[in-house]
Amino acid sequence: MKLHVKPPKYHNTPVEVDGIRFDSKAEAARYVQLKALRAAGRILWFTRQPSFLLLGNTRYRPDFMVCDSSGLVWVEDVKGVETKEFKIKKKDWEALYPGFELRVVK
């Protein structure tokens, strides 16, 4: 019996780096960049997929949360395509977390 594997919706290619599975090559590349920035002392720390509560009891999990050497913290989402769903979550984010920047990394 042959199983049909549906290709990714946005033509992304899942990748594994350091034993961690990433949804896309771009997300994996950003992870490698953040590791290099941490090693160089330009950022203090970063974490993957923190969870935040949004309106309607929904959750938002950006790809990374980052803290630079001055203590400034922001979240990043690596996006090839900004979907309608993401744009709604971004607006909710901006309403609930003013001053806590959401950076879209292309």
The model's pLDDT over 10-61, given as tens digits with 9 standing for 90+, comes to 667 899 999 999 999 999 999 999 999 999 999 999 999 999 999 888 999 9
What is the rounded average pLDDT of the residues 67-86?
A: 95
Burial of 30 (C-beta count, 10 Å sphere; 0-12/13-18/19+): buried
pLDDT surpasses 60 at 5? no
Q: Residue 105: enclosing H or E segment and its boundaries? A: strand 102-105
Single pTM value for the model:
0.85
Q: SS3 of 82, please?
A: coil
> How far is it, in rounded angstroms, from Cα 65 to Cα 42?
14
pLDDT of the residue at 57: 87
**DSSP for residue 41:** T
> How far is it, in rounded angstroms, from Cα 80 to Cα 102?
16
Residues whose CB is less than 8 angstroms from the CB of residue 100 and which lie 6 or more positions away in sequence, other chains included: 73, 74, 75, 93
Residue-range domains of the chain with CATH? 15-105 (3.40.1350.10)
> How far is it, in rounded angstroms, from Cα 69 to Cα 41?
7
Q: The dihedral of CA 53, 9, 14, 45: what is its sign?
A: negative
